[in-house]
Amino acid sequence: MPHPIMFRDDDPVLAEVRGIALSFPEAFEKISHGRPAFFVSKMFVMYGGSAKPETKGDHIHYPQSIMVKVDESDRRALEQDARFFYPAYLGPAGWLGLDFTATKKVDWSEVRELIDASYRMVAPKKLIRQLDEA
């Protein structure tokens, strides 16, 4: 059974994320688990996410957010920021979520940096060289 679609294609925040993610060499988008996900050889960013609550209950949903792979050396600092959440399912694999609704104004340069770092963790070396040369 396919996952239900959990986004609106006319979401202006998704449009910004899509523009950033698809600017990386050989990046492409596909729907994964009902959400827009951006891949190179592997997934490097997903739009929207959820977290398991501290106590039993339904997941906490973050429809306007991204999930990115983060370097362990950055994880502790990012986890101290209230805008970040530990995503269900992907958290144990080194991912964090950034909730765009936790702030009045999204810092798109920060978002680009997070997506760039995630891309570099999964992209083939030849694509990273291509990115650095651009």
Give the domain extent around 95.
12-123
pLDDT digit string (tens) for 31-81?
999 999 999 989 999 999 999 887 777 889 999 999 999 999 999 999 999
Domain total in the chain: 1
Any idea what the CATH number is for the domain that residue 38 is in?
3.90.1150.30
Structure tokens, 21: 């993610």
40 lies in some domain: yes
DSSP state of 66: E
Half-sphere exposure of residue 59: CA atoms within 13 angstroms, side-chain side: 12
Give residue 57's pLDDT.
76
3 lies in some domain: no
The fraction of the chain above a pLDDT of 90, given in percent, is 89
Q: Is the CB of residue 73 less than 8 Å from the CB of residue 44? A: no
42 lies in some domain: yes
84 lies in some domain: yes
Give residue 3's pLDDT.
87
User: Mean pLDDT score of the chain, rounded to an integer?
Assistant: 95
Give residue 55's pLDDT.
75
1 lies in some domain: no
Q: Is the CB of residue 62 less than 8 Å from the CB of residue 20? A: no
88 lies in some domain: yes
Residues 6+ apart with CB under 8 A from 49: 35, 61, 62, 65, 66, 67, 85, 87, 88, 90, 97
